[in-house]
Structure 1
Amino acid sequence: MTLPLHEALKQSPWQNQPVPHDAASWIQRADEVAAILAVDALERDRAAEIATHEVRLLKDAGLTTILGPTQFGGGSQSWQTALQIIQVVSAADASVGQLLGYHLLWAWAVRLVGTDDQIAAVEQLYTSENLFFGGAVNPRDSDLNIEDAGDHLIYTGQKSFSTGARVSDLVVLEGTLPDGAHVFAIVPTAQDGIEFLGNWDNLGQRLSESGGIKITGVEVDWAGAAGYVNKEFQPLVYNTLNVPLIQQIFTAIYLGIAEGALRTAGTYTRDRSRAWPYSTDPKDSASAEAHVLETYGDLRAKLWAAQALAKSVDEEISLILHADREALTAGQRGLIAVRVAASKQVASTVALEVTNRIFEVTGARATSNAVGLDIYWRNIRTHSLHDPVAFKRREVGEYELLGLLPEPSWYT
């Protein structure tokens, strides 16, 4: 029998087990993590405690280092596998899926913008010590201010959202120098200049630790300014892949939510829903009713289609992310951005439909708080507002009709 998270953590289920050696065994490991999270996901959502135990579970399972180099204890897996794992975890607990997805993004940030030496140092550090990442890079807020103090930089400012940072070991900062130049840096989370506001109190994704953060006088050596050599940034088209990547992470979270919702609703319908007796063709069980079967068939077909599109885009973006950084062209970057936009819009739409319509085939009693089917709708409704999906549809429309590719921005 699978135990609730707090009980399962008393002794790591993977203690003395080797690191998974291939994609299939990593996905199996993710399934094991998901089984633990699913037991008490609703109770933990309602308690809304700081996600310390959830992060420990991810670390114990090794999912935090699946992209890290093998020589330092990591999995050296592809982003295609990582995105599938995010989807598996999100089906059980979307908040934890979000924490994992954002961690993996920020762990990859040094590859996106760093120098070769910075990449080597950061990947050895976080992989060998199994450190967890958060980020303070919300672009809708004013940038953090950066002062150039000679041999080091000083960051100061505030961000409304900082997913994962409160439970992190390392946090990614982004700000601007007086001349407008942007600088990313990775700093230890536990320091006096970093304060968490503890104000994440939202409809869904309650354990994603997405509240505000205040930065006061955090110092970073110029050597830690990602992608800078002698105070000059070394630009690559590859630097701009952070947005397509995080948008595809969103797709994985959304599809995970939809999968979890459909799976849970199906169990409820089979075990607890009652047939409607006032019918010209009454059935003995709800599972035999035509409208119930039609609805489940419709939702499953749509979810399969969304998953198939996402799987294709996962493979495409993974190939780009693991290829030569200097070889990426603006055209290739634009094409993957529009493919990601298509994948995300479909996933968002399908997940919203699934999490809404499951109530039509579970019945009035399924709205009980004791059942908790609302967690899926609350989670997708909350996160799908991250940036307007209408703009993703427009990007795809501009490509289809006008042959235009999205220009890199904080959201494309």
Structure 2
Amino acid sequence: MNPSDGISVTSRSKELDVALAAMDGLKRELALTAVARDAAGGTALAERRLLRDSGLLTLAVPRQWGGQQLAWPDVLRLVRSLAEVDSSLAHLFGFQHLQVASVLLFGSDVQKAKYLRATVDERWFWGNAVNARDTRLSVQQSGDGYLLNGLKAFCSGARDSDVLNVSFTVGTAPTDRRFAVIPTHRAGITVRDDWDNMGQRQTDSGTVAFDHVLIERAEVLGPPGVASSPRATLRNLIGQLVLTEIYLGNARGALLSSVEHMREHVQPWPMAGVERAVDDPVMQLQAGDQWIQLQAAEALADRALEHFQRAWDAGDSLTAEQRGALSLDIAAARVHAGRVALHVTSEIFELVGARSTARKHGFDRFWRNVRVHTLHDPLDHRKKAVGRWLLTGDIPDPFGYG
């Protein structure tokens, strides 16, 4: 019996069937080189081209502009599925839809038509420079537009992108934050090749430098704009869900690949008294524990995904209280997924043994990928927010970081 592939669909449609088939083919292709590319790092140009050609970059674009308009749970479970074999490409894939959501949530009707139609027709790959915690970007008014100078770090997907979603602030209030869509190759923009971290090695999450970069008023998303309503703040929650799915995909990929390796290559310990490693009761106990923990984490994440879709469908009627309750569900899913993923991606070595630590197998990449992402913002702060609500009834600030 083969275990479930983790795709639990919200509603079956022709578009979803096509996406599932495309994802299956893409995963097979990426799996062939995933270990070698993780070791090499750098920009995955050929693999990004595969994503462009797959038709999967427009899943969240509404049908009226040529996209597939899949439900968010289906889009995000596909992120989880891709992360099983290639966490870096899953990151870029998930963040593509996050930038599409930015246009849907913040853009005017004219901007939605312009940018989303181009995403489909011109097969745009989106990058971003939206790290809110990086304050090194200075802003000056220039006519009815803005002039940007400085740096933004953690700009995932910026290299080899067609357009950048850029954030900057013109004041201290939540409503003073701006998002703009500009061509990546605009004069004054330099995408630096300086991402060399231990995990997520091909996300190109380095620095973007801005040298007198002009942003025209028509490129600034809005109205409605950022923090204009509880609905507009759903962008942050999509980002949290993308990370949750990356944790789960790494954990599932680590466990299933280690089980396959164990069946084919691992010898049983003499003290086990069995002829095959898979018949070792201790190994069965450990594998069972990891699988059960992963199933629980996926179920919690699936609940959060369905809750998010209901909030998305509520449109402008979504209240701050409803958004706050949703953020608590997502926080619980993300914290649990992160803890389980760190556990599973570490404990798989109990199954595959010392020989599996050879670099050629690349089993360590799953843990490294999760560890990098779980430091994106501390999971303990997510737990604290849940605890504060439980003890005081205070919901998280809908206009805050998460």
Give the alignment's TM-score, normalised by structure 2.
0.92
2:110 equivalent in structure 1: 117
1:397 equivalent in structure 2: 387
Of 189, 197, 200 in structure 2, the residue corresponding to residue 202 of structure 1 is 197
Q: How far does residue 238 in structure 1 lie from its aligned partner after superposition?
A: 1.5
- AA aligned opposite 1:296: A
What whole-Å deviation, never above 9, does each CA across 1:211-263 have from its counterpart, x for those lacking one?
Answer: 1110122222212221248xx98822222112111001101111000010001
Relative to 1, partners in 2 of residues 1:178 and 1:301: Cα closer, same or farther, differing over 3 Å?
closer
Q: How far does residue 72 in structure 1 lie from its aligned partner after superposition?
A: 4.0
- AA aligned opposite 1:395: A
2:3 equivalent in structure 1: none
SS of the residue corresponding to residue 168 of structure 2 reads strand
Residue 256, structure 1, aligned to residue 249, structure 2: yes
Q: Percent identity?
A: 35
What whole-Å deviation, never above 9, does each CA across 1:120-159 have from its counterpart, x for those lacking one?
Answer: 2221121221101111111221063222212322222201
Please report the RMSD computed on the Cα atoms of aligned residues, expressed in angstroms: 1.8
Q: How far does residue 318 in structure 1 lie from its aligned partner after superposition?
A: 2.0
CA distance in 2 between counterparts of 1:183 and 1:284 reads 63
Residue 105, structure 1, aligned to residue 95, structure 2: no
Q: How far does residue 64 in structure 1 lie from its aligned partner after superposition?
A: 0.4
Decide whether the 8 Å contact of 1:139 with 1:410 is kept in 2.
no
SS of the residue corresponding to residue 165 of structure 1 reads coil
Give the alignment's TM-score, normalised by structure 1.
0.90
* Comparing 172-181 and 399-408, the one that deviates more: 172-181
Of 286, 303, 311 in structure 2, the residue corresponding to residue 320 of structure 1 is 311
Decide whether the 8 Å contact of 2:106 with 2:226 is kept in 1.
no
CA distance in 1 between counterparts of 2:289 and 2:359 reads 26
Residue 406, structure 1, aligned to residue 396, structure 2: yes
What whole-Å deviation, never above 9, does each CA across 1:75-95 have from its counterpart, x for those lacking one?
Answer: 111111110110111111000
Relative to 1, partners in 2 of residues 1:410 and 1:95: Cα closer, same or farther, differing over 3 Å?
farther
- AA aligned opposite 1:392: R
Q: How far does residue 71 in structure 1 lie from its aligned partner after superposition?
A: 4.5
- AA aligned opposite 1:361: L
Q: How far does residue 289 in structure 1 lie from its aligned partner after superposition?
A: 0.5
Residue 141, structure 1, aligned to residue 119, structure 2: no
1:169 equivalent in structure 2: 162
Decide whether the 8 Å contact of 2:237 with 2:330 is kept in 1.
yes
Relative to 1, partners in 2 of residues 1:234 and 1:200: Cα closer, same or farther, differing over 3 Å?
closer
Residue 76, structure 1, aligned to residue 76, structure 2: no
* Comparing 93-102 and 32-41, the one that deviates more: 32-41
Decide whether the 8 Å contact of 2:230 with 2:398 is kept in 1.
no
2:282 equivalent in structure 1: 291
Of 340, 346, 352 in structure 1, the residue corresponding to residue 342 of structure 2 is 352
What whole-Å deviation, never above 9, does each CA across 1:53-73 have from its counterpart, x for those lacking one?
Answer: 222111111110111233443
Residue 52, structure 1, aligned to residue 45, structure 2: yes
Gaps of 5+ in 2: 1-12
CA distance in 2 between counterparts of 1:390 and 1:276 reads 39
- AA aligned opposite 1:221: E
SS of the residue corresponding to residue 95 of structure 1 reads helix
What whole-Å deviation, never above 9, does each CA across 1:262-293 have from its counterpart, x for those lacking one?
Answer: 0110011111111111x2x5111111011100
- AA aligned opposite 1:343: A
* Comparing 385-394 and 71-80, the one that deviates more: 71-80
Runs of 4+ deviating beyond 6 Å: none
CA distance in 2 between counterparts of 1:188 and 1:121 reads 13
What whole-Å deviation, never above 9, does each CA across 1:78-123 have from its counterpart, x for those lacking one?
Answer: 1111101101111110000001111110121012222232222221
Matched ranges for 1:185-264 at <5 A: 185-228=180-223, 235-264=228-257
Of 355, 366, 369 in structure 2, the residue corresponding to residue 365 of structure 1 is 355
- AA aligned opposite 1:301: I
CA distance in 1 between counterparts of 2:394 and 2:17 reads 38
SS of the residue corresponding to residue 14 of structure 2 reads coil
CA distance in 1 between counterparts of 2:163 and 2:230 reads 26
Relative to 1, partners in 2 of residues 1:251 and 1:291: Cα closer, same or farther, differing over 3 Å?
same
Q: How far does residue 321 in structure 1 lie from its aligned partner after superposition?
A: 2.2
Decide whether the 8 Å contact of 2:227 with 2:233 is kept in 1.
no
Q: How far does residue 179 in structure 1 lie from its aligned partner after superposition?
A: 7.3
Alignment coverage as a number of residue pairs: 388
Decide whether the 8 Å contact of 2:320 with 2:398 is kept in 1.
no
SS of the residue corresponding to residue 197 of structure 2 reads coil
Decide whether the 8 Å contact of 1:227 with 1:234 is kept in 2.
no
